[in-house]
Structure 1
């Protein structure tokens, strides 16, 4: 995830990847990822709250692919 965040930052995308301890102890969706800006556009704010870090990463990669921005291209 850190490599992806750095790759996005180099392209002007702001990224937040977080785990919430209170949510974790309450067995709620504790992981969150937010991306915005850069080549994603001014109106492109993406946020997802999910149960695992891996599911957040998968969701983020799918979003980026849909915007034509993929680290694997």
Structure 2
């Protein structure tokens, strides 16, 4: 699964998602992902700052698994 597929899955499940690259930040935190709402529950919020989009993708997948959701089901 790539980032676009995951974001489409999140949107289909009512979530809002943002993936941001910020070249002005330090190399270890240039990428940020935020996911909220929808299938995660009202008032839910997940954010992580990591060095790559792939690391952000894995963090979201890990979070989804931790809360009992999976785009692979």
- Scaled by the length of structure 1, the TM-score of the pair is 0.88
- Structure 2 counterparts to residues 59-70 of structure 1, below 5 A: 59-70=59-70
Gaps of at least 5 residues in structure 2 are none
Aligned alpha-carbon RMSD (Å) = 1.1
* C-alpha deviation, 1:35, in angstroms: 0.3
Q: Distance in 2 between matches of 1:28 and 1:5?
A: 23
Q: Which residue number in structure 1 is paired with residue 39 of structure 2? A: 39
* C-alpha deviation, 1:59, in angstroms: 0.7
Q: Distance in 1 between matches of 2:12 and 2:57?
A: 18
Gaps of at least 5 residues in structure 1 are none
Q: Which residue number in structure 2 is paired with residue 14 of structure 1? A: 16
Q: Which residue number in structure 2 is paired with residue 50 of structure 1? A: 50
Q: Which has the larger radius of gyration?
A: 1
Q: Which runs of 4 or more aligned residues in structure 1 lie more than 4 Å from their structure 2 counterparts after TM superposition? A: none
